[in-house]
């Protein structure tokens, strides 16, 4: 068995002009702390984990409240047409609806700016075949906090381009997110590591990997026929 990772568009998803310029474009305060989720709003993607983690974070670090913005960007998918409303009600019930903001799906041409504008992108999926959102974010220079499941263990270099979290305990997620938000120097190092890590997953690498496998199969078939 040979595995070739999907590619990320390294021409669209780049650090661009940086975080400050991106925040001006997407209308986010320059001095805010921004945590962003991007994806389909369905349970297995884990947006509820982020909402509950935000509640835990503000219980233990209430001083972050006036600076914290949690973006949940995406729309309902499949049969889960009421999931967005349910999560909005949850945020209200937890009294964090002043911090958690919901936005509809963003056009692909604009998505890179939202990644760049964030201090962290969170991918709390319960399962993930690969995790393209994680790579797109890292290519834009934004570290990722993701669940240590499936392809996310390849898409995120733990401790280098982001942090992998075991399980979905909101308190554990809160601890990781809070620590990173309060360590700007570490985020800078992770940002540098994110760009480097994502650079190995461009479509050029995917094409080369695919062609290499075809070459191997053709060569082996030719040798077996000659034998």
195 found inside a domain: yes
As a whole number of angstroms, the distance between CA 70 and CA 45 comes to 16
What local confidence, expressed as pLDDT, does residue 70 receive? 98
Task: Please report the sign of the dihedral spanned by the C-alpha atoms of residue 19, residue 23, residue 24, residue 30.
Answer: negative
Q: What is the pLDDT of residues 67-98, one digit of tens each?
A: 999 999 999 876 667 999 999 999 999 999 99
What local confidence, expressed as pLDDT, does residue 79 receive? 62
76 contact partners, CB below 8 Å, separation of at least 6:
40, 41, 42, 82, 83, 84
Backbone angles phi, psi at 207, to 5 degrees: -65, -45
Q: How many domains does the chain have?
A: 1
CA 188, distance to chain mean position in Å, is 16
As a whole number of angstroms, the distance between CA 74 and CA 58 comes to 24
Q: What is the pLDDT of residues 15-61, one digit of tens each?
A: 999 999 999 999 999 999 999 999 999 999 999 999 999 999 999 99
- pTM to 2 decimal places: 0.90
175 found inside a domain: yes
CA distances (Å), 26 to each of 29, 47, 117, 154, 200, in order?
Answer: 9, 21, 8, 30, 28
Q: What is the mean pLDDT of residues 195-218?
A: 90
162 found inside a domain: yes
Quick count: other Cβ atoms within 10 Å of Cβ 23? 20
> Residue 117 is part of which domain span?
19-202
What DSSP element (H or E) covers 151? none
Least reliable range by pLDDT among 22-31, 161-170, 173-182, 210-219: 210-219
93 found inside a domain: yes
What local confidence, expressed as pLDDT, does residue 160 receive? 98
107 found inside a domain: yes
9 found inside a domain: no
Q: What is the CATH number of the domain that holds 99?
A: 3.40.50.2000
- The pLDDT of residue 13 is above 70: yes
């Amino acid at each position: 068995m040979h595995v070739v990772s999907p590619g990320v568009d390294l021409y669209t998803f780049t650090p661009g002009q940086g975080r400050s310029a991106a925040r001006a474009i997407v209308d986010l305060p320059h001095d805010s702390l921004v945590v962003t989720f991007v994806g389909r709003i369905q349970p297995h993607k884990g947006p509820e984990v982020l909402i509950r983690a935000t509640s835990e974070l503000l219980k233990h670090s209430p001083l972050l409240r006036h600076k914290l913005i949690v973006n949940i960007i995406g729309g309902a998918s499949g049969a889960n047409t009421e999931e967005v409303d349910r999560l909005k009600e949850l945020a209200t019930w937890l009294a964090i609806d002043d911090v958690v903001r919901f936005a509809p799906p963003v056009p692909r041409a604009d998505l890179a700016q939202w990644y760049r504008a964030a201090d962290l992108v969170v991918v709390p999926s319960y399962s993930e075949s690969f995790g393209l959102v994680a790579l797109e974010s890292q290519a834009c220079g934004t570290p990722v906090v993701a669940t240590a499941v499936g392809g996310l263990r390849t898409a995120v270099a733990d401790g280098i381009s982001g942090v992998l979290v075991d399980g979905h305990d909101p308190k554990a997620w809160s601890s990781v997110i809070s620590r990173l938000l309060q360590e700007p120097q570490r985020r800078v190092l992770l940002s540098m590591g994110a760009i480097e890590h994502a650079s190995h997953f461009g479509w050029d690498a995917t094409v080369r990997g695919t062609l290499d496998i075809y070459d191997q199969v053709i060569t082996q078939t030719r040798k077996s026929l000659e034998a």
